[in-house]
Chain A
Amino acid sequence: MHKRYLSAAMAAVVALALSACGGAAGGGSTGGATDAKGQTLNVWIMKGTNPDSEAFFDSVGQEFTKETGAKLNVEYVQWAGAHDRFVTAIAGSTTPDVAETGNTWTAEFADSGALAPIGDKVKEAGLDGDLVKGLAESGTYDGELYGMPWYAGVRSIIYRTDVFKELGLTPPTNWQELVNVATVIKTKRPDLIPFPVPGDAEMLAYPWVWGAGGDVSVQKGDNWESGLASDKAREGIRFYTDLATKHGFSTAGATTWKETDVLDNFTQGKVAMAISGSWTPATILAKAPALKGKLGAIPIPGKDGGISPSVLGGSHLSVFNTAKNKDLAWAFVKLMSTGKFAREWASKSGYFPGQKSLLDDTIKSDDPLVKSFAKQMVDGGASVPVTPKFGAVQAKKTTNSMIQAILSGQKTVDEATSSAAAEMDAIMNGKKTP
């Protein structure tokens, strides 16, 4: 409370200072250093699944001050409650100047009118040809770029190489092999969870829908049509939930787990295989150094071989309309998403950079962990529907409640998929949302 009051006061002072020196800030060719001595840029960075990033942002802050004279104030926001926090801040005009926004949220926030367009600045800086396509698409709303691609991530399967070696297993390459491998782990290492199926993590469910040939939702004319209740999608969801309900590869607790709970349990050494993001191995090793050299990754196997596509996730850096000094905000965005800091963030965190030129370097890496994730990203990257309405579907937890209801036995696969598809259609076709 006190802090917010302070920063509001600071903003007022900044505004006064700006209007006082009028033309100085206005001319703003963004190439050179913006002189913003005495100003503070408030930034929200997500945390929860990312590796600890405070040291990184300390050095970013120093460089930022050197370049612009302004101070950098980074606030870390938990992924879990971040969407609500953004929405509340937008409603109360207390948004930061710049924030990391999950790539499925950017269009939604832009739709509300809270974000400032940055397309012109990107073009001016000559960066528009070098953005990773998927991320640039999700950062675009109504033909205008609102989210600067910062990093991309993709989910694959991580597993314990030591357990696989001990039991003489090879990583699965199709769905049947996944079941076989997990069965061996279940019987020979009962202390481990072979393959957790969390009930509150939608991103871990979509690969099975796509892997079976189904769709989450596709646009037909002006309407969105959910494919969750199709035979193919049902087959994928049935396979995924059967891993828990029929084969017992998961645990009772996982029915209400979030993705972070899967990560926690893997870190504690209780899990043999799990779907996990490319950014998690670094986090796991930082928290549990004992697992060093015992981590492997494979792309999520396709039903009969190949790869099941998984969500190409990632984050944008977005400038909010509440930012008093948009040039300063852009200076920060540019500093973060290009050159040295973008490369350092990508290599440290296990993310893939949002710039094509940097991404190509990463993909050539020799690290087997990085290689598997890169393969998933290049050959098996997919996107959830790109529309502001999908943010509302996520907030409603439509897919999560579908999986959870199946896992807890409240509904059959057919019932749960039908009601989830109906709900998704109602929200995405604007019957319920403004």
Chain B
Amino acid sequence: MTVGLKQPPVDEGRKPQPSAGGRPPKRRRLLTMAKARPWLLLAPALILLAGLLLWPLARVFIFSLQDYGLRQIVSGKTKFIGLDNYAEVFGDSSLWTVVLPNTIGFAIVAVASTVIFGTLVALLMASLSPLWRTVVGSAVMVAWAMPAVTGTYVWIWIFDADQGLVNATLKGLGLMDESFNWFTNPVTFYGIVALNIVHHGFPFVAITVLAGLLGVPKEMLEAAEMDGAGPIRRFFQITYPTIKPVFSVVVILSTIWDFKVFAQIYLMPGGSGSNREVLNLGVWSYVESFGQNRYGFGAAIAVLLTVLLLIITAIYVRTLFKEEKV
């Protein structure tokens, strides 16, 4: 990634606006200093973010307006084509029939399963003694520490059509006569991806929610129990409202991760483009950019993915703040 060092530093608010009178009264100058101080303190972080995040983002957007291929990179010539790439993305029927349904459908299922399973594990851990909590916690961490590539290959082996554990078991139990290739059908393909993602993603949810759970006042829970509230009612009427912000964070982050899942799909048999029914936005963008040398078109897909995520995040954050005000 190129880091734009030439990017003008973001320094809004750093210099106090010259006031109309020319020589500001002492009190007002102090006030503007006070106002500027937070920005001054934030400046290093903001400059870093602008360099590392905003500039690449802007570059991707600029690429998406160009016919940008290997030849353009080597020769250094640019060729702007306006919104043609976007027109092609939106005009591609596979976007609507395959790519978007796969991306969104998978994200919904994966986020829901990850959060539900993670919360259940957190509840289990909250009720354990410190010793067993450490034991379960370490076991959970192992799943988290597994690299995505390694994890994906393990799942591929488990579901391998000819020698995999799942087919062998099903055949051994007499539930299946002939081997089934789990990777060719889009539903079973994404089922395996979901298992992989949930397995890899639930530890984060569990640990975060557990931290929230331990902060829920015991008195309130005990009082509710005295009043005769069962465990389910206690969870939804006391625990959940108390740690709702934790859930919001966990859901937003999981959504972002599950929307842009790439390696776990690309590495699966058929996932790198030969099975067209399983493309999602991330893989589609990669296959077009690097296989076809059409970086402009790939960038347009990437921009689409970013915009989608921004919209979803904005909605989440809005509802979160709205409720906090009430």
Could you list which residues of chain A lie within 8 angstroms of chain B, going by C-beta atoms?
83-84, 87-88, 90-91, 111-114, 199-200, 251-253, 255-257, 392, 395-397, 400-401, 404-405, 407-410, 427, 432-434
Task: Using A252-B179, A432-B294 as known contacts, say yes or no to A401 and B71 having CB atoms under 8 A apart.
Answer: no
B180 at the interface (CB under 8 A from A): yes
What's the Cα separation between A280 and B293 when bound, in Å? Answer: 31
Tell me, rounded to whole Å, the shortest Cβ–Cβ distance linking A88 to chain B. 6
Contacting residues of chain B (174-198) with chain A, CB-CB under 8 angstroms: 178-181, 183-185
Tell me, rounded to whole Å, the shortest Cβ–Cβ distance linking A328 to chain B. 22
Beyond A87-B290, A112-B70, A252-B181, 16 additional pairs, beta carbon < 8 A: A91-B73, A113-B70, A200-B269, A251-B161, A251-B179, A252-B162, A255-B161, A255-B270, A392-B291, A395-B290, A397-B272, A401-B273, A405-B275, A407-B184, A433-B292, A434-B69
What's the Cα separation between A392 and B294 when bound, in Å? Answer: 10
Would B291 and A408 count as touching, CB distance under 8 A?
no
Can you give 11 contacting A-B residue pairs, CB < 8 Å?
A87-B293, A112-B69, A253-B162, A392-B292, A396-B292, A401-B274, A404-B184, A410-B184, A410-B277, A433-B69, A434-B293
| In the A-B complex, the 6 residue pairs with the closest CB atoms | A395-B291, A253-B161, A256-B269, A408-B184, A112-B70, A253-B162
Tell me, rounded to whole Å, the shortest Cβ–Cβ distance linking B171 to chain A. 11
What's the Cα separation between A90 and B295 when bound, in Å? Answer: 13
Q: Is chain B's binding surface mostly helix, strand, loop or mixed?
A: loop
What's the Cα separation between A112 and B185 when bound, in Å? Answer: 37
In the complex formed, the residue of B with least CB distance to A410 is: B277
Would B179 and A253 count as touching, CB distance under 8 A?
yes
Would A396 and B69 count as touching, CB distance under 8 A?
no
In the complex formed, the residue of A with least CB distance to B70 is: A112
What's the Cα separation between A88 and B73 when bound, in Å? Answer: 11
Contact of B274 among A90, A199, A392 (CB under 8 A): A199
What's the Cα separation between A112 and B75 when bound, in Å? Answer: 8
Would B179 and A111 count as touching, CB distance under 8 A?
no
Would A253 and B160 count as touching, CB distance under 8 A?
yes
Tell me, rounded to whole Å, the shortest Cβ–Cβ distance linking B193 to chain A. 14
Chain B residues, CB < 8 A from A84: 290-291
Task: Using A112-B74, A200-B269, A408-B181 as known contacts, say yes or no to A397 and B293 having CB atoms under 8 A apart.
Answer: no
Would B180 and A252 count as touching, CB distance under 8 A?
yes
What's the Cα separation between A200 and B271 when bound, in Å? Answer: 11
Would B292 and A432 count as touching, CB distance under 8 A?
yes
Contact of A434 among B72, B273, B274 (CB under 8 A): B72
What's the Cα separation between A114 and B270 when bound, in Å? Answer: 30
1/0 per residue, CB under 8 A from A, across B152-168: the answer is 00000000111100000
1/0 per residue, CB under 8 A from A, across B73-91: the answer is 1110001000000001000
In the complex formed, the residue of B with least CB distance to A258 is: B269
Contact of A256 among B71, B183, B276, B287 (CB under 8 A): B183
In the complex formed, the residue of A with least CB distance to B164 is: A253
Tell me, rounded to whole Å, the shortest Cβ–Cβ distance linking B160 to chain A. 6
What's the Cα separation between A397 and B283 when bound, in Å? Answer: 13
Would B67 and A256 count as touching, CB distance under 8 A?
no
Would A255 and B70 count as touching, CB distance under 8 A?
no
Task: Using A111-B71, A200-B269, A433-B69 as known contacts, say yes or no to A83 and B291 having CB atoms under 8 A apart.
Answer: yes
Would B71 and A255 count as touching, CB distance under 8 A?
no
Residue of A199, A251, A253, A433 most packed against chain B (CB within 10 A): A253
Tell me, rounded to whole Å, the shortest Cβ–Cβ distance linking B53 to chain A. 20
Chain B residues, CB < 8 A from A434: 67-69, 71-72, 79, 293-294
Would A256 and B273 count as touching, CB distance under 8 A?
no
Chain A residues, CB < 8 A from B160: 253
In the complex formed, the residue of B with least CB distance to A256 is: B269
Would B294 and A255 count as touching, CB distance under 8 A?
no
Would A200 and B292 count as touching, CB distance under 8 A?
no
In the complex formed, the residue of A with least CB distance to B292 is: A392
Chain A residues, CB < 8 A from B183: 255-256
Chain A residues, CB < 8 A from B79: 434
Chain A residues, CB < 8 A from B161: 251-253, 255-256
Contact of A433 among B179, B185, B294 (CB under 8 A): B294
Contacting residues of chain B (54-75) with chain A, CB-CB under 8 angstroms: 67-75
What's the Cα separation between A396 and B94 when bound, in Å? Answer: 14
Would B270 and A200 count as touching, CB distance under 8 A?
yes
Tell me, rounded to whole Å, the shortest Cβ–Cβ distance linking A401 to chain B. 5
In the complex formed, the residue of A with least CB distance to B79 is: A434
Would B73 and A395 count as touching, CB distance under 8 A?
no
Chain B residues, CB < 8 A from A91: 70, 73, 295
